[in-house]
A = this chain, B = another copy of it.
Amino acid sequence: MTEISKINHKIIETLRSSAYMSDAEVVECLSFFELRSYHKKDFFLREGEVCRLRGYVNKGCFRRYITNTHGKEVILHFALEDWWIGDLESMINKQPSVFNIQALEDSEVFCISEDEHERLCSAMPKYFSLHEEKARRSHFASLKRLALAQAGTPEDKFLQLMKQQPQLFQRVPMHYIASYLGIEPESLSRLRKRLSEKEKKS
């Protein structure tokens, strides 16, 4: 029991604070997962593959992107620590994914297959509840992101990203942020300059 409290894993923090697990329960829960390392630029999932794993980002950062009809990469999300990655639809329906999930830093991911996930949900109601809550919040977030993608200006999107994932700006190259905002890197520079001048004035 003393061992686990010494390990500095984000997932342990989450299982304790959000799922209210005891140390013994954390140990049991983690026994269902496999910890995998991804080097910067490695893929967790590639377009055309069937997704086999759910992943919990314990350390690092990933981008989820698709290739549009003009062959251009467009970033949909950045997944930092405490995010789940994967493509549930591909996994459940056993169909090729349209998404790419790539590490932007050397990263550590706690991975679990769909079968093990189901077993874990049955074995540990606390994990099941955590998962349900995460799924619900992820659904709400995707609806809001859709509203922003559909109706927001690049400035709205930039300000929202600054609010929700401020650490991204220190960790991710600016051309990725531009891709997420749907603008060219030069437009992002101008946007940042404009906003910082606005801030100085106010």
Contacts and interface: CB of A to CB of B under 8 A. Distances in A.
Interface of A: 66, 68-70, 72, 74, 76, 88-89, 92, 98-99, 135-136, 138-140, 142-147, 149-153, 156, 182
Contacts of A88: 136, 139-140
B142 A146 contact: yes
Contacts of A135: 139
B69 A147 contact: no
Nearest to A72: B151
Contacts of A89: 140, 143
Given A69-B153, A152-B68, A152-B69, A98 B147 contact: yes
A156 to B, nearest CB: 6
Nearest to A87: B143
A69 B156 contact: yes
Given A142-B139, A143-B89, A150 B70 contact: no
Contacts of A156: 68-69
Given A69-B156, A156-B69, A74 B142 contact: no
Contacts of A144: 98
B146 A149 contact: yes
11 contacts: A72-B151, A74-B147, A74-B150, A76-B147, A76-B151, A135-B139, A138-B139, A139-B139, A139-B142, A146-B149, A149-B150
A76 B150 contact: yes
Nearest to A69: B156
B147 A66 contact: yes
B76 A146 contact: yes
